[in-house]
Amino acid sequence: MEEAKGLVKHVLLVRFKDDTTPDQIEELIKGFANLVNLVNLSTGFTHVFETTFESTEGIAEYLPHPAHVESSKRFLPRLEKVLVVDFKPTTVHA
């Protein structure tokens, strides 16, 4: 099998434990963000927006929805760079 070439995106979705304080969350987020500087991972993106849909039908309804279309008309002209990734999460069992 030939190794795939090109960009690789690493998306980390988390839910902090209920007993994690806001200060601890802030510290962890800052530490994670600093990894970009330490490991030179920066690709120039500054924000991440994530939405979860229950099915592919849900996202198919969302994309052409008038509210989404109007929001996109305001949002997209202000963006220098954009990447949209839709994927179905999988679980890896070690």
For the question of residue 47 being annotated catalytic, the response is no
Catalytic residue among 10, 47, 65, 93: 65
Q: Are 86 and 59 in contact (CB under 8 A)?
A: yes
For the question of residue 62 being annotated catalytic, the response is yes
Catalytic residue among 47, 62, 68, 93: 62
Q: Which of 64, 53, 65, 60 shows the shortest CA–CA distance to 89?
A: 53
Place of tokens 């198919």: 60
Query: Distance between CA 66 and CA 62 in Å, rounded?
Result: 9
Place of tokens 């679980």: 91
Catalytic annotation, residues? 62, 65
